[in-house]
Amino acid sequence: MLRQRFVLDTTALTDSQAWEGEGCNTICEGMNAILERVAQGRLHLGISCYVPYPSVYNEIKDFARNNNCNAVVLSKVDTWLVKKTPDRYRVKIPSKIFYEYVDYMRGRINKGMNVSEEAIWEAVSRCVTLSSSEPNLKDMKEDIEREVIGSIIRKFREKYRNALRYGILDSAPDIDVLLLAKDLDAAVVSQDLGIQRWAEQLGLRFMESRSFPAMIREYMAVAPMRGLADEEEFQEGRMI
């Protein structure tokens, strides 16, 4: 089988649908099962899985620790994921991509500004309505904080997040995933919409996190008899 390389985002191990597809009920069980699949792929299918170091590597380790995953999971992260720092000086990105990203971000910022303006107008309108029934500003303060400010802020945060965050590259680890995949000519594994969008722009192969374990499973199923034996050992190991 042709050797394949994949660069994993944090969501490759933490996406709930990915580990639920492995029959797991908790995030730690899920991370362990996916890493077992990665081990199968590396040992028997020639698949190499990379993570940008230190950005994504640290995110994965911190996620495991924060969810009280045991030392076995942390050890498998170090054993089966190849840590590599992307060459940020050598990897070349077409200027057209940079231009499109700036133009795209300008549009998203404008959407965020519109959401902010809507929230301000709504707050003013509701305060005016309250003031017409209660002329004393001091008496109005609690009503404004309870009935106006709190609810508007909650709606504003949700709308602002949708307008400005989803579908964009909003962290250094996101960029590192794309740079490393470009550097290695590897496929990207992620559930992040921003990474997916810009992987397509860069002409990189892309796979959703929830499909990655199933892909290895399928490879193992059609591999020679050794693959069937490995799958039986994997299931037995899960039950121990």
Quote the pLDDT of residue 145.
Answer: 67
pLDDT tens readout for residues 12-25: 999 999 999 999 99
Spans in the chain with pLDDT lower than 50: 1, 225, 227-228, 239-240
pLDDT of residue 55: 96
Q: What is the pLDDT of residue 121?
A: 78
Kindly write down the DSSP assignment for every residue of 51-76, as one continuous string: EETTHHHHHHHHHHHHTT--HHHHHH
Nearest to 81 by CA among 112, 101, 119, 54: 54
pTM above 0.85, yes or no: no
Residue 233: phi and psi, rounded to 5, are -65, -40
Report how far apart, in Å, the C-alpha atoms of 181 and of each of 45, 64, 86, 103, 207 are.
19, 24, 8, 24, 12
pLDDT of residue 182: 95
- What is the total residue count of the chain? 240
Q: How many helices (H) and strands (E) does the chain have?
A: 12, 5
173-186: per-residue pLDDT in tens?
Answer: 999 999 999 999 99
Q: What is the CATH number of domain 4-92+172-239?
A: 3.40.50.1010
pLDDT of residue 181: 97
